[in-house]
């Protein structure tokens, strides 16, 4: 390959680097609206190779003039932890391009943590929380936010 100027060479290298970086990212590593569209969760791959999700946006950020907190947490020591930035999804492994399992989801509405599996369907995620076996649970659909 012959380049006429150093700037063309740098532009080509930059384009290749950006393409490789976006290819390395899984389609699940995005920002998703929850089912009610009252919150956005950013899913990311951590250094341990597992996938996690944290709350990055809330439609209603305050309650009684103060930032919303995890008031239903079963551990009283965490009931004043802010909801914003809270890790809701933990420890998922990638089974294939569409399926992620072995993780948990925390529901701040009731303070409970459930086993969870996620199935990606294009620009949507089927998020299934369950207790014990996945037949006994509930599936909600999250949609791509960004």
Q: Is residue 13 part of a domain?
A: no
Report the number of distinct structural domains present in the chain: 1
Computed from CA positions of residues 137, 139, 145, 146, in that sequence, does the dihedral angle turn out positive or negative? positive
The pLDDT, as a whole number, for residue 65 is: 93
Per-residue model confidence (pLDDT) at position 14: 43
Q: Do the domain assignments include residue 12?
A: no
> How much is the pLDDT for 102?
97
Q: Is the pTM value of this prediction over 0.85?
A: no
Q: What is the pLDDT of residue 141?
A: 98
The confidence score (pLDDT) of residue 17 equals: 42
Tell me whether residue 54 is in a domain. Answer: yes
21 in a domain, yes or no? Answer: no
Specify if 7 maps to a domain.
no
Inside any domain, residue 55:
yes
Cβ neighbours for 52, distance < 8 A, ≥ 6 positions apart: 43, 44, 45, 46, 87, 89, 90, 91, 92
> What is the domain-level CATH number for residue 78?
2.40.128.520
Closest CA to 133 of 119, 109, 116, 146: 116
Is residue 10 in a domain?
Answer: no
Q: What pLDDT shows up at residue 4?
A: 55
Residue 125 lies in a domain: yes
Which residue range forms the structural domain that includes residue 113?
Answer: 26-144
pLDDT of residue 133: 83
Q: Which residues in the chain show pLDDT less than 70?
A: 1-24
């Amino acid at each position: 390959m012959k380049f006429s100027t150093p700037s063309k060479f740098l532009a080509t290298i930059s384009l290749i680097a950006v393409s490789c970086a976006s290819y390395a990212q899984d389609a699940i590593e995005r920002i998703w609206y929850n089912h009610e569209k009252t919150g956005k969760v950013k899913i990311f791959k951590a250094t341990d190779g597992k996938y996690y999700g944290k709350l990055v946006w809330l439609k209603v950020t305050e309650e009684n003039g103060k930032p919303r907190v995890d008031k239903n947490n079963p551990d009283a020591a965490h009931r004043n932890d802010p909801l914003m930035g809270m890790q809701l999804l933990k420890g998922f492994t990638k089974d294939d391009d569409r399926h992620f399992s072995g993780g948990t989801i925390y529901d701040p509405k009731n303070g409970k943590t459930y086993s969870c599996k996620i199935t990606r369907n294009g620009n949507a995620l089927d998020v299934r929380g369950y207790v014990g076996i996945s037949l006994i649970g509930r599936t909600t659909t999250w949609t791509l936010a960004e």
